[in-house]
A and B are shown apart, each in its own frame.
Chain A
Amino acid sequence: MEVKFAVKRYDPITNADKSTQTYTAEVDEGDMVLDALLQIRDEQDPTLAFRGSCRTGFCGDCTMTVNGKGAIACRTKVKKAWDGAEDGAIELEPLKMSRQMKDLVYNAREFHWNKFRAVEPWVDPVQPPEKGEHLVPGGHDKHLTESMRCTQCGLCDQGCTVLVVDKTFVGPAALTKAYRVVADERDSRKRQRLDKLSLPRGMWDCTHCFEASEHCPKYIEPTDRIFDLHDMAIKAEAGPPKVVHHYKSFAASVKAHGWLDEGRLAIETEGFTNVKGLMKLLPLAVKAGLKGKHPMPYMLHKKRPGHEQIKRIFEKWESKG
């Protein structure tokens, strides 16, 4: 099968201009994109730079952009990419979130290694261990199996909608790693970690848009791991006061009324004593009110029939701990 690849090239030494070079290769039906790249480098162009290691989708090294989408080159079939090619060639570029270093190699340190480092991705148990070693009873790590499979390929970051507007956001890849250590029962710094993850540009900047989960090739569901981190933080009352108020008010409203009281949510999110924050709400509230868009006034919120049952469910959950 003859296919064409349009590779976005860049050589930092000889050629400052980024250009696209087209290669034609004869590949087998079952070949992966990484196989084809290795073949091109061996047979046609030894200067072509790309990353690749395990060739089995295990190491997360050969991440690149294939036809505009983040992909693991060793798990992407050439045939499928060729079928999806729009301009008569499979388009290959480095990951978009970071700086192109050379050809398909992006700057991993600048982008995700620094983010991983920021979440201190190692378990920190109490020392010295009580029984000579840090034992985890069988089944107590069940919830971690998914996040332990993370190859740190960075594809979830590639899909993240927040990183598009703010490169300083810690991002789903590092947050998935953070979950892996925060949720490990051996770790002794859970609270401290949750506080740190709650700093600006940390976990509360995530919008839960599920792009990360959609982009993860390992089905780790990074978005759900961030939800889990948020749950842990709210339970521990870690997190910026405004966010904690927001979550608590939301829960209190549903618990009391069966549904959400938007007026109360806005006010309690700012905090009753935060006059400046409350004043900030006013212009929009007035504008919306004049248009007949206001949520029902605070305190007049009607309880929904069945609200006692919702309250009972909440109490049951709270009693489960």
Chain B
Amino acid sequence: MTTNGQVKTKYAFYPGCVSKGGCPELYEAVVQVAEKLGFELDDKALESAGCTGAGVLSKEVSDPINARTFAMAEAAGLEIMTICSTCQGIMTQAHHRLKDEEYRAMINRDFLAEEGLEYKGTTVIRHMLWAIVEDFGLDKLKSMVKRPLNGLPIAHFYGCYMKRPPELMVPKEFAKTRKTALEDVIEALGGKAVKTSGRGKCCGFPILTSNEDNSMAMLGDHTLDAKAKGVKAMVTPCPLCHLQLDGKQADAEAHKQEEIDMPVFHLPQLVGLALGFTPKEMNLQRHLVSTKSIEEELGIGVEVKA
């Protein structure tokens, strides 16, 4: 579909719990950036979908809940777009199990039929990062950049679920686009993607409840390694990583007895800044670690509060 020369792609939007809870700034950034890119986000198709289970709920109950979500997107004839690595990972794993016809038939019969739903196994689930690289295209993104990131050294932090299990998350047919999707976006925006040891690792968020010390050690290691490599900011496609990298950074500083001061962007915020949105529009003021240093590097004037 083309509108004003732009490829318009419509998705069944699945924002996930966190973008509506702990990270409202993510939701708002996604909506604005998607509109600018010409993505049409249908927020009705999955309006009544449930939580993916986030790896906390047993698969025995989260698989039927996810099958229900897939069935709704299938009925609407749309691909699902997620904006959270964890949602994406858990859905992809459920999607994979539901390829088994016997299993799918059981879920349809025992859980979905009563509501008049049936999942036929065809739904595609794509994270916004992949949608940008695969559906929209990096060249087009590049051409829309109004405020290039000026070679700013930025660390890509994928989070666990965008990369693993690799045979599901980065299958052969997508190896070209997904292996370096985040690095490629950073570069398309004019930044310099810097490899750090934590880039594909766990941020530590899942064990905050059970072992905070280990969780802080992981967070501290990843952010300090980035700092040692001259990184000025990190970017992540996962709001749970953001809750940890940004939200708990002060605790990691206390744990490591060392200043970290590493601004962390949600993926669409970084894209948005480069496309010309203001820090206020991207709600950067909501971060716990200030992003002022980056705004200054990019020559963005200090915002006057409206």
Interface residues of B in 253-288 (CB under 8 A from A): 283, 285-288
Q: Which of B55-63, B137-145, B181-189 contacts A (4 or more CB under 8 A)?
A: B55-63
Q: Cβ of B61: which chain A residues have Cβ within 8 Å of it? A: 251, 313-314, 317
Q: Which of B31-39, B44-52, B126-134, B227-235 contacts A (4 or more CB under 8 A)?
A: B44-52
| Residue in A164, A307, A312, A313 with the greatest tally of chain B CB atoms within 10 Å | A313
Nearest CB in chain B to that of A287: its residue: B288
A:228-277 near B, CB below 8 Å: 231, 234-235, 240, 242-243, 246-247, 250-251, 254, 258-263, 269
Nearest-Cβ distance from residue A233 to partner chain B, whole angstroms: 11
CB distance from A209 to the nearest CB of B (A): 4
Q: Is the CB of B68 within 8 A of A254?
A: no
Q: Let me know if B111 is at the binding interface, CB within 8 A.
A: yes
- Measured between beta carbons, the chain B residues less than 8 angstroms from A254 are 50-51, 53, 57, 65
User: Is B202 part of the contact surface with A, judged by Cβ < 8 Å?
Assistant: yes
CA distance A246 to B64 in the complex (A): 22
Interface status of B292 (Cβ within 8 A of chain A): no
Chain B residues, Cβ within 8 Å of A263 = 21
Pick the residue among B24, B56, B110, B286 that contacts A247 (CB under 8 A).
Answer: B56
Cβ–Cβ contact B286 & A292, under 8 A: yes
- Chain A residue with the shortest CB-CB distance to B25: A293
Query: Which residue of B has the minimal Cβ distance to A314?
Result: B61
Per-residue 0/1 for B11-25: is the Cβ within 8 Å of any A Cβ (1 yes, 0 no)?
000000110111111
- A185 within 8 A of partner (CB): no
Q: Contact check: which of B50, B64, B221 meets A306 at CB < 8 Å?
A: B50
Q: Say yes or no: A304 contacts B48, CB within 8 Å.
A: yes
Stretch of B74-82, B148-156, B160-168 on the interface side: B160-168
A140 at interface (Cβ–Cβ under 8 A)? no
Of the candidates B60, B164, B211, the one whose C-beta lies within 8 Å of that of A214 is B164
- In angstroms, how far is the closest chain B Cβ from the Cβ of A234? 7
Instruction: Evaluate contact between A305 and B47: CB separation under 8 angstroms.
Output: yes
Establish whether residues B47 and A207, one from each chain, have CB atoms under 8 Å apart when the complex forms: no
Closest to A309 in B: B115
- Nearest residue, chain A, Cβ from B50: A310
Contact B164 A211, beta carbon cutoff 8 Å:
yes
CB-CB contacts of B114-126 with A at 8 A, as 1s and 0s?
1100000000000
Q: How far is the CA of A235 from the CA of B285 in the complex (A)?
A: 42
Q: How large is the interface on A (under 10, 10 to 19, 20 to 34, 35 or more residues)?
A: 35 or more
The chain B residue with its CB closest to the CB of A270 is B209
Look across to chain B and name the residue whose beta carbon is closest to the beta carbon of A210.
B164
Asked whether A65 is an interface residue with its Cβ less than 8 Å from the other chain, the reply is no
* Cβ–Cβ contact B18 & A262, under 8 A: yes
List chain B residues, Cβ under 8 A from A210.
Answer: 160-161, 164-165
| Residue contact B214 to A166, C-beta cutoff 8 Å | yes
How far apart sit A203 and B61, CA to CA, in the bound complex (Å)? 22
Residues of A within 8 A of B298 (CB): none
**Shortest CB–CB separation between residue B255 and chain A, in angstroms?**
11
Interface of A is mostly: helix
Query: Does A195 belong to the interface (CB within 8 Å)?
Result: no
Q: Is B190 an interface residue (CB 8 A)?
A: no
Q: How far is the CA of A211 from the CA of B285 in the complex (A)?
A: 34
Distance, CA A286 to CA B175, complexed state (A): 43
Enumerate chain B residues within 8 angstroms of A258, measured Cβ to Cβ. Answer: 48-51
Q: How far is the CB of B198 from the nearest CB of chain A, in Å? A: 9
What is the CB-to-nearest-CB distance from B164 to chain A, in angstroms, rounded to a whole number?
Answer: 4
Bound CA–CA A84/B176 (angstroms)? 18
Residues of A within 8 A of B57 (CB): 250-251, 254
Query: Known contacts being A205-B211, A242-B209, A287-B288, is A296 close to B49, with CB within 8 Å?
Result: no
Is there a chain B Cβ closer than 8 Å to A142's Cβ? no
**Cβ distance B34 to chain A, nearest Cβ, rounded Å:** 21
Measured CA separation A211–B206 after assembly (Å): 14
Shortest CB distance B21–A (Å)? 4
- Min CB distance B137 to A, Å, is 29
Query: When the two chains form their complex, are residues B207 and A162 in contact, meaning their CB atoms are under 8 A apart?
Result: yes
Task: Assess whether B54 is interfacial by the CB under 8 Å rule.
Answer: yes
A234 near B17: Cβ-Cβ < 8 Å: no
Establish whether residues B286 and A204, one from each chain, have CB atoms under 8 Å apart when the complex forms. Answer: no
- Whole-angstrom CA separation of A291 from B58 in the bound complex: 34
State in angstroms the CA–CA spacing of A213 and B167 once bound together: 11
- Shortest Cβ distance from B30 into chain A, in angstroms? 16
**Which chain A positions have C-beta within 8 A of B283?**
292
Please determine whether A288 and B288 come into contact, CB atoms closer than 8 angstroms. Answer: yes
Report A-chain residues with C-beta under 8 Å of the C-beta of B21: 260-263, 295-296
The 7 nearest A-B residue pairs measured at CB = A306-B48, A210-B164, A209-B202, A260-B17, A295-B21, A204-B210, A165-B217
Binding site for A on B (CB under 8 A): 17-18, 20-25, 47-51, 53-61, 64-65, 68, 110-111, 114-115, 160-161, 164-166, 201-202, 204-207, 209-211, 213-214, 217-218, 221, 247-248, 283, 285-288
A288-B288, A307-B48 are known; give 6 further A-B pairs, CB within 8 A. A210-B164, A211-B164, A250-B54, A291-B286, A295-B22, A306-B47
